[in-house]
Amino acid sequence: MTKAVRPGFHSLGRLLGLTAVATVLASCGATSTTHTTPAPKTNKIPKAGKTLVYEDSGGLLLQEEMKVFIQPFEKKTGIHVEVVAPVNFAAIQAQVAAGHVNVDLVEFSSEYAPEYCGTVLQPITQYFDMSQYYPQYVVSKCGVPESTFLHEFFYNKKDFPTNPPTTWADLFDPTKYPGTRAFWNNGDGTNFEQAELAAGVAPSKVDPINYSRALSEFTKIRSDIVYWSTPAEAIQMMQSGSVAIMDGWGPFATDAVINGATNYVREPANPIFLYNQFLVPKGAPDLGAALEFIKFATAKEQQLKLVETYPEGPTNRAVHPTHFASSVLKAFYPGNFLASGVGTNVAWRASHFPQMETEWTNWVQGVTK
């Protein structure tokens, strides 16, 4: 069913500020109503074939998707899902350009939806009632939001038994909080946004990035930084207790805590929210199967199963989990931070990835001081 999988890149970003949206949603939810708003008219999903080629970013999320999305979908529909991981978007671009596409559905970074809509990706929101999703995760007519997760940091209680670091500013304060920090060695992540928040930038203004300001924060802790390139490396660091603070993706760090790295505690109260998108390449051989899978995976029942057993949050507004597979999952549930979480500007980031990568690499290599 699956081909070889290696840890993939989780998608990044969000177009709207979470605090404002969450406040509006909470307000709406508290207001009683006596009428039901009819669902908007949607296009009929084309007839599906017998095989769906699904390209996924891989890693821990794909392992969970196999249990809560893929295998149940195969059982319910009789459609065989061929999984390819990780995503090779350059290859997809080449296939679309050549007119010979062999991928039906892609799960990938949110930035790709607005950046490649109409050129590499085809519009798909017309087939769904998009009001069922949290509006801050709907960023393009070429993407349907799959799930959400957090970028945050985890401190080691052995290194900070009292008065631990709890804010982004604390993460970048080596005087008050000495010790090794582990960061993802990649400019596409949220390293810049974290540094902007540490510098006192308002959450709604972390993008566009002020590289000089952000890198000044990193320069303060340069001698304390070690880097990880894959979630597996980061998990090993946490399990061995070799770093005072682990910065990175909530899902892998939460998994590490559940599986033995119990000395690590998550912070801050305002993590950065991220989310993945379902995308369909132009010329996909089986549009019907792709759309049926999206419909299945983003429905309330399957989204609930995902967030109860895996450290991610739902994109479907009807999902409100009450039973979790562990107390850690309950405590670290992304939905707990909807009102305080920080978003990024997906459209801006999508068009600035090359510069972000260059600025980060130059700083790591010492070209930028």
Is residue 223 a contact partner of residue 266, using CB atoms and an 8 Å limit? no
Please state the length of the chain. 369
Sequence spans of domains, the chain? 18-29+41-148+275-330, 151-273+346-364
Give me the amino acid identity at 151.
Answer: H
**Burial of 138 (C-beta count, 10 Å sphere; 0-12/13-18/19+):** buried
Return the CATH number of the domain spanning residue range 18-29+41-148+275-330: 3.40.190.10
> Minimum mean pLDDT among 16-20, 47-51, 136-140: which range?
16-20
* Banded pLDDT at 39 (limits 50, 70, 90): low
Same fold, 18-29+41-148+275-330 and 151-273+346-364: yes
Mean pLDDT on 127-155? 97
Return the CATH number of the domain spanning residue range 151-273+346-364: 3.40.190.10
- For the cut 60, the answer to whether the pLDDT of residue 28 exceeds it is no
- β pairing state of 264-279 and 105-109: antiparallel
- For the cut 70, the answer to whether the pLDDT of residue 166 exceeds it is yes
User: If residue 55 lies in a helix (H) or strand (E), which one and from where to where?
Assistant: strand 51-56
Share of the chain above pLDDT 90, in %: 88
3-state secondary structure of 100: coil
| All residues at 6 or more sequence positions from 236 whose CB lies less than 8 Å from its CB, including other chains | none
- For the cut 80, the answer to whether the pLDDT of residue 13 exceeds it is no
pLDDT on residue 367: 94
pLDDT on residue 12: 35
Q: What is the pLDDT of residues 235-281, one digit of tens each?
A: 999 999 999 999 999 999 999 999 999 999 999 999 999 999 999 99
Q: Is 34 left (phi over 0), alpha (psi -120 to 50) or beta?
A: alpha
- For 105, other C-beta atoms within 10 Å of its C-beta total 25
- β pairing state of 181-184 and 225-228: parallel
Q: State the Cα–Cα distance between residues 160 and 246, nearest whole angstrom.
A: 13
- For the cut 80, the answer to whether the pLDDT of residue 60 exceeds it is yes
Mean pLDDT on 12-36? 35
The single-letter DSSP state of residue 34 is S
Q: What is the pLDDT of residues 89-104, one digit of tens each?
A: 999 999 999 999 999 9
